[in-house]
Amino acid sequence: MHLAILRTGQTNAAIRANFPDYPDLYENLLQEGASHIKHAFSFSDFAVFNGEMPADPDEFDGYIITGSAAGVYEDHDWMQPLFAFIKACDVLKKPLCGICFGHQAIAKALGGEVVKWPNGWGVGVHDMQITAHTDWMPQADKMALIYFHQDQVTKLPEGAKKLATNEFCAIGAFAKAQHVFCLQGHPEFPADYSAALLEAIREKVGDSRTEAALTSLSEHTDATEVARWIADFFHQTHLANADKAKLKTA
């Protein structure tokens, strides 16, 4: 299965020399999550923030949209082409996964709403209560992930269902049918990367929240389990689409 990583951002310039950039983070995440699937994934990546985009949604078997320092309400040349591409993938039911900004961009492109949260940043390790399940998720009650966000999805697109929530972030994950899976948290961020990033953006986040978030990084997260959910999401949706294509040509 050939996946495209749509890079809407990159590792913060202050820590880039010491840590991997987004393509490696996401490839590592998905390869770890797909350890139970033989020959699961190959990857290509596109620097969407530099105007790179796949020529057609059918060019790849699925897409993962990364985090970004940008907000979906900002005016960037690459934003509208990204939204149009998301809509095209939705029409074709092409597997589409969004992480943090990607979660927000997919929600907005498909008719949801995203705002800059008045209560500030959500950072560090936080638990989300799971409110609904999908075919690629086990019957877990909660998930803990690392978070870095100032924006939040406040209204879901039509036909989407909320999967996770907590008091700070009402919509922490959502799905649409079998082809869209989105998460506000960062399963791809290791603790050391997150600690360095927190220090790099301390002035924006504030000392109190930064210190609390740094302390939280010693807590357990469910990143490994969530990586498997994402891998299973892509794998199951791809197989289902392949079966539908066979039926059409039979």
Per the CB < 8 A criterion, the answer to whether 65 and 105 are in contact is yes
Q: Please choose, from the candidates 93, 40, 36, 106, the residue with its C-alpha nearest in 3D space to the C-alpha of residue 237.
A: 93
Catalytic residue among 100, 149, 169, 235: 100
Other Cβ atoms less than 10 A from the Cβ of 44: the count is 12
Q: CA-CA distances (angstroms) from residue 175 to 15, 160, 239?
A: 32, 6, 18
Whose CA is closest to 233, among 188, 186, 187, 177?
Answer: 177
Cα dihedral 219, 188, 16, 4 in deg (nearest 10): 180
* φ, ψ at 161 (rounded to 5°): -125, 140
Catalytic pick among 149, 179, 188, 235? 188
DSSP class of residue 137 equals S
Note if 100 is an active site residue: yes
E runs forming strands in the chain: 2-7, 42-47, 62-65, 96-99, 113-116, 122-130, 142-149, 151-155, 160-165, 173-176, 180-183
Residue 220 is among the residues annotated as catalytic for this protein = no
Three-state DSSP class for 177? coil
What is the widest separation between alpha-carbon atoms in the chain? 62
Residue 188 catalytic?
A: yes
Catalytic residues: 100, 186, 188
